[in-house]
Structure formats: structure tokens, C-alpha cells
């Protein structure tokens, strides 16, 4: 997520309590990828664990710890469309097919571009 600061941003380092200020007008970017793997918010961040998204577990972490569609006035306008599209596609597929990971295929290798892709493909 890229933004230009309209006002100075004060940052306090947790370990040293050192304070620094980023001036207004600076272009800053935040990595959603890193945020969603940050150990301050996620236990064993790289492990697939759908239980992270139960109502109780969501309530335990800050609201902006999980922002796949960003947040604020420039967040994704396609969020509801994308969520519905994914659910409909998945429902169509699992009505007809049983999915499993093909153990003989290459392990997906992350390729960060504008969106995250797998360089080695995803075999199911």
C-alpha cells in the first residue's frame, strides 16, 4: 500500500523507545505480505491455520493486523465482488471435483510482483 504523508508521522521503536519522525510529503509504503506474517500478531505465521479466523481469534488482534484489501478511503473497491467471486468459483469446483495436492509436482515458489504469484505453478 503506497501513501504520501499529509502530516509528519512519529514512530516509536519498541525495543529502544527511540523516537523518529518521517516528514510530511514523504512517500511511504507498507507491505501487506510482511504484516500478515508478523510474529507480533500471528502465531506460527507461515502455518495454514483457518482457526485464526474464528470470531474469538479475530477479536484478540488489532483490527488492522489483517488487511488483504487494504483499509481507509483508498481501499479495494472490488473487495465484495472478489470475495463473492472466490466463493462461487470454489463452490462450483468442489461440487464436481475432489482436490488434493500432487505430491510429485514442484513446491510453489513465491514470486512477488504487483500481485503474488507462484513461479513454479500450483499443481492440484
Phi/psi at 110 (5° precision): -65, 135
Q: Is 11 in the site for ligand HEM (CB under 6 A)?
A: no
Q: Do residues 123 and 100 lie in contact, with contact meaning Cβ atoms separated by under 8 Å?
A: no
Q: Do residues 8 and 24 lie in contact, with contact meaning Cβ atoms separated by under 8 Å?
A: yes
Question: Is 15 annotated in some ligand binding site?
Answer: no
Q: How many CB atoms lie within 10 A of CB 101?
A: 11
Task: Spell out the alpha helix ranges (H) of the chain.
Answer: 32-35, 55-59, 79-96
Q: Is 88 in the site for ligand HEM (CB under 6 A)?
A: no
Judged by CB, which is closer to ligand HEM: 61, or 87? 87
Judged by CB, which is closer to ligand HEM: 68, or 106? 68
Q: Which of 22, 58, 82, 122 binds ligand HEM (CB under 6 A)?
A: 82
Q: Is 87 in the site for ligand HEM (CB under 6 A)?
A: no
Per-position x/- string for 59-78, each x denoting binding to ligand HEM as judged by CB under 6 A, each - no binding: ---------xxx---xxxxx
* Helix, strand counts (H, E) of the chain: 3, 6
- Residue closest to ligand HEM (Cβ): 78
Q: What is the DSSP letter of 36?
A: T
The binding site for heme comprises 76
Q: Which residues bind ligand HEM (CB under 6 A)?
A: 1, 32, 68-70, 74-78, 81-82
Amino acid at each position: 500500500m503506497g501513501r504520501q504523508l499529509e502530516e509528519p508521522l512519529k514512530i516509536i521503536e519498541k525495543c529502544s523507545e527511540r523516537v523518529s519522525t518521517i516528514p510530511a510529503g514523504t512517500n511511504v509504503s507498507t507491505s501487506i505480505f510482511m504484516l500478515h506474517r508478523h510474529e507480533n500478531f500471528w502465531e506460527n505465521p507461515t502455518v495454514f491455520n483457518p482457526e485464526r479466523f474464528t470470531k474469538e481469534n479475530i477479536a484478540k488482534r488489532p483490527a488492522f493486523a489483517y488487511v488483504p484489501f487494504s483499509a481507509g478511503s483508498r481501499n479495494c473497491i472490488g473487495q465484495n465482488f472478489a470475495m463473492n467471486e472466490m466463493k462461487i468459483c470454489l463452490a462450483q469446483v468442489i461440487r464436481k471435483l475432489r482436490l488434493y495436492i500432487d505430491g510429485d509436482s514442484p513446491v510453489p515458489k513465491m514470486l512477488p510482483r504487483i500481485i503474488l504469484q507462484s513461479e513454479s505453478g500450483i499443481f492440484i
